[in-house]
Every structure is written in C-alpha cells, then in structure tokens.
Amino acid sequence: MSDPFGPEVADAETRRREQIPGDGSFALCLTHDVDRPYKTYQSLYYAVTERDPSHLKSLAPGHNPYWSFDRIMRLEADLGVRSAFYFLDEQHLFTDRPRREIASPRAWSLYTGRYDVTDPRIIRVIRELDAGGWEVGLHGSYRSYRSRDRLREEKRTLESVLGHDVAGVRQHHLNLSVPETWRHHAALGLSYDASPGSSSRVGFDHGYGVRRPFDDAFAVFPLTAMELALPIESDPDRAWEVCDRLLREAREEAAVMTVLWHPRFFCADTPNHEPIYRRLIERAQALGAWVGPPGELYASLDHPGSPNEVAADGGTTPGDPGR
C-alpha cells in the first residue's frame, strides 16, 4: 500500500542539503493557530469549575488575556525569528448551523466564542503581522476539510483582508481526509498544509522531512509537537525534557520540526508556556537550526512542479472529478 504522504527522503544528509535553508543543522517551523483571541464564555467556565472568581476579570471592558499578538511578536522579534499565524473563519452556531445543534454541547464548544476576520481589530493585527514579516495563513474551519467550496470562501475572505494570496493552511482540530483534503488545498492554490499531527502525542510519526503527497510542488509539513500534548503547567521540567529530546532528534536527523503554540497560552492563566516556548527557540538556535515560518521554508525549496497544475480559482486536479 502506497504512503499517502508520498515518498519520504530517508537520508539525513539529503534532507539537510535539499530541505534545510543555509547552513542549518535542521529546521524549526514556528506556528500559531488563532482559535480564540478573546476570553469570553471560558471566564464563566473556569470561574465555576476552578471555584476561582478571578477568571471573571476577563469579562471587564479592556481586559482580555487571550489577546497576545503583541506579546508573541515582541518575543520572536527579540530572538530574531518569525512565525506563522493561521486565522480561522468559523461558522456561527446561531446563523450558520442547523437549529438542532443549539442543544448540542459539542456544537457550543465548536462554534461559540469565535471571532470575525473582517472585524477592524482583527484586520489591524493581520496587516501588522504581515508588514512585520510574519506569515499569515488560513486555519480551515472545523468542517471545511471536506468542502472545497467552504475553503474557497474562507481563503478569499482572509486574502481580501490581507491584500495578497496566502500560501499555507492548517485545518481546525487537525481534521483531514487524506488525500481528499489535500486535493482541495492544491486546487485552491494553497502551497502547503501543516495539519497532520496530534494534540495528545509528540514525535516524528510522519517522517523527518517535508512530504510530497502528489509528487509535485504541493507540500505537507507534519506537526511534531503541539503544546497541548506537553505537561507544561503541571510538570514544566518534564515538558522541557520532551522538547529538548525532540530538538536533539531533529538535529541528528536533519529534520523539519514543526511546533504549534496557541496564542491563548501566552497569558497569566498559563505562566509556564511562554518561557518554554522561548527556551525552545533559543535551544534550537544554539543547536544550529534554521528557525522561521513554514511559508518561508517552503519558498526556499526547489519544487518538482506547480501544485497539481491547477488554477487558483478552484479547478480540478488530475484524476480528480472536482467537488
């Protein structure tokens, strides 16, 4: 049975020569999924479940611990690196979803507490990130991994805010239907996907390098570690041991290592997350890594051809009837 991710470059020296920019010993790709930049209903939830009324302060005007864009930008600029921010254009429970889902706790979790990418404050931060050299990408909504039409509209909306095309995507909740979702991505003119991975385990389960599922220019950046899979608040020493092990493995294998830190964890509610993220970058730099966003790494690669040779307006891929 063929590997749906495409052939893996098995030799570390070949990866170092073909996939790692400059003289880097390995690559560390930094990413952030912008799920919830506002702490809303979570304030009530944590105030009740933790019996801590201090969470209610987040409901006061002008107080929003999840809005951490400036904090992340300062940290990364201080270290001389940039990252990718994937913005979500999710459906609304009351206007876009079937009425029966209003009674579903799962639907409330998925579709409430969201934001509008065309809100003036979100527009400002997207354009500030772009102007400062950060990558802005698409965070495909929860059900978009099976809907080319929905992905197309989400991509167009984000690009209308950004003022130019986006190159990369990561699906919300890491949802994938392989290879169908990737055919949608390529058909819409996206250059790479960064979805394959896990929120509960870390490691190089999908190989050490950039993958080519269609043996063309469309690329896949497997996710090596999400912060949710690490015991950062409960056991930060153990969390760091895991991070350091992954970095050393990445250097040994000349790997492309991709990490995800959600912006909402750069706040006082989770004080251990930011120091470990900083330490991760500093350690990678000390090990000789190239550090940056996947889009920048993608742009440095030699590609075997245009992604499936399709039009960016949603044409079909070879052997694909379109959806």
24-78 confidence digits (pLDDT tens): 999 999 999 999 887 554 444 443 344 445 544 544 445 578 899 999 999 999 9
**Quick check: 312 pLDDT over 70?**
no
Q: 197 or 60: which carries more pLDDT confidence?
A: 197
Q: What is the DSSP string of 7-47?
A: -----HHHHHHHHS-TT-SSEEEEEEEES-SS--HHHHHHH
pLDDT, residue 318, reads 38
Look at residues 45, 47, 48 and name the one whose alpha carbon lies nearest to residue 36.
45
**Quick check: 215 pLDDT over 90?**
yes
Q: Tell me the three state secondary structure of residue 257.
A: strand
Q: Within 10 Å of residue 37's Cβ, how many Cβ atoms?
A: 21
**Quick check: 142 pLDDT over 60?**
yes
* Residue 200: DSSP 8-state: S
Percentage of the chain lying above the pLDDT 70 cut: 79
pLDDT, residue 99, reads 61
The 10s digit of each residue's pLDDT in 73-96 is 999 999 999 999 999 996 554 456
Q: Of 32-36, 235-239, 309-313, 318-322, where does mean pLDDT reach its minimum?
A: 318-322
The 10s digit of each residue's pLDDT in 121-141 is 999 999 999 999 999 999 999
pLDDT, residue 150, reads 94
**Quick check: 317 pLDDT over 60?**
no
83 vs 199: CA distance, rounded Å: 20
Structure tokens at 201: 């385990």
Average pLDDT, the chain: 86
For range 211-240, the mean pLDDT = 98
* Residue 217: DSSP 8-state: S
Does an H or E element contain 127, and which?
helix 120-131
pLDDT, residue 113, reads 62
**Quick check: 278 pLDDT over 90?**
yes
* Sign of the C-alpha dihedral computed for residues 221, 222, 227 and 231 taken in this order: negative
Q: 51 or 6: which carries more pLDDT confidence?
A: 6
Delineate the domains of the chain, giving CATH numbers in brackets. 12-305 (3.20.20.370)
**Quick check: 179 pLDDT over 90?**
yes
Confidence band for 252, pLDDT divided at 50, 70 and 90: very high
CA-based angle 20:83:240, to the nearest 5? Answer: 80
**Quick check: 157 pLDDT over 50?**
yes
For range 292-317, the mean pLDDT = 72
